[in-house]
Structure 1
Amino acid sequence: MQLWLEVIINIAFSYIASVGFALTINVPHRALNLSGISGVIGWMVYWVAARAGMGRMLSNLMGAFIIGILGLMFARIKKCPVTVFNIPALVPLVPGVPAYQAVRALVNGQTMEAETAILRVGIVTCAIALGILLSTMFIEMFYRSKRFYRKRHNRL
């Protein structure tokens, strides 16, 4: 498959997944498009990092980090809670296939395969949570340092 076609398919389906989930959880209509855009950008960061050979954990961490930063920015722009943008945007990053494989392996009695799949799900989930945490901490540090230097500049 050609690269440009693969990029278009990834953009289209990540947008549909993000906006579809946003509609399911009753996100306000004024925030639907931005939650879809956040999902697309997060998924494309993940996809590019995975194609560059960075591994599943680092790719998910980078995608979630970008989604967290975009969610905080969009929340300020639209005056909505951050979760309105973060939760739907994280849907494309959720490890659904390994979770399904883990459950299927458990049902079939294949404990070694189930353990491996559960470990993959746990690693990806922790990477996503860490990405959101780091983005929140990064933005908080940015605004605090901005406020500190503004106060310092006003004193002088």
Structure 2
Amino acid sequence: MLLLVNIFCVYLATIGFGLLVNVPKRALNMGGLVSVSGWLVYYYINTYISGYVFANLFGTFVVGLLSILASRYKKMPVIIFNIPALVPLVPGGQAYQVMKSLAISNYALAKTNLIQMVFIAGAIASGFLFSEFLNQLYIRWRIKKANQKKG
């Protein structure tokens, strides 16, 4: 039951953020589904397989791939789906803990949380990089295949 509540909250958070940044209304539902899919991958990996860094990496990878597919399906830019779908994976909790630790002069804890936050941000960037790399490989393969049919 708690998982269903989390899925619903992830979907609503994505839709809400999409409304805040003026995502077109016809892309909101698809963006919410992309976000929930990425978050489910994150949740599964973080809970059953590995830690938060790999969970963020693979969750963002799924968000990146599904955003590319959604953008082709809806004939809209990829960023319309990427940015709102990324909201549940952003390390806001770690950023808050860094600032809180600095405010109470607990520099060792601030450093630990900052390192976690940097690793998560790097995993998010890498996930998008890998999904775009896979997309470019697919595009080149399609072009090569089309050229072979011509020649």
* TM-score under structure 1 length normalisation: 0.94
* Residue 128 (str. 1) matches residue 128 (str. 2): no
Q: 1:107 aligns with which of 87, 94, 103?
A: 103
Q: Distance in 2 between matches of 1:7 and 1:100?
A: 24
Q: Distance in 2 between matches of 1:43 and 1:56?
A: 12
- Corresponding pairs, count: 151
User: Matches of residues 78-89 of structure 1 in structure 2 within 5 Å?
Assistant: 78-89=74-85
Q: Distance in 1 between matches of 2:56 and 2:131?
A: 13
Counterpart AA for 1:74? A
Aligned-pair identity in percent equals: 38
Q: Distance in 1 between matches of 2:142 and 2:25?
A: 32
Deviation at 1:81, TM superposition (A): 1.1
Gaps spanning 5+ residues in structure 1: where? none
Question: Which stretch shifts more, 140-149 or 127-136?
Answer: 140-149
Q: Distance in 1 between matches of 2:42 and 2:6?
A: 11
* Residue 25 (str. 1) matches residue 12 (str. 2): no
* Residue 53 (str. 1) matches residue 46 (str. 2): no
1:27 alignment partner, SS class? coil
- Whether the 8 Å CA contact 1:31–1:84 is kept in 2: the answer is yes
Please list the CA deviations of residues 74-114 of structure 1 after superposition, one character each: whole Å capped at 9, or x if unmatched.
Answer: 11111211110000000000111111111000011110000
Counterpart AA for 1:68? G
* Residue 68 (str. 1) matches residue 64 (str. 2): yes
Q: Distance in 1 between matches of 2:99 and 2:55?
A: 24
Deviation at 1:56, TM superposition (A): 0.8
Q: Distance in 1 between matches of 2:67 and 2:27?
A: 11
Gaps spanning 5+ residues in structure 2: where? none
Q: Distance in 2 between matches of 1:51 and 1:82?
A: 29
Q: For residue 147 of structure 1, what is the aligned residue in structure 2?
A: 143
Q: For residue 90 of structure 2, what is the aligned residue in structure 1?
A: 94
Moved >6 Å (runs of 4+): none
Q: 1:14 aligns with which of 2, 10, 14?
A: 10
* TM-score under structure 2 length normalisation: 0.97
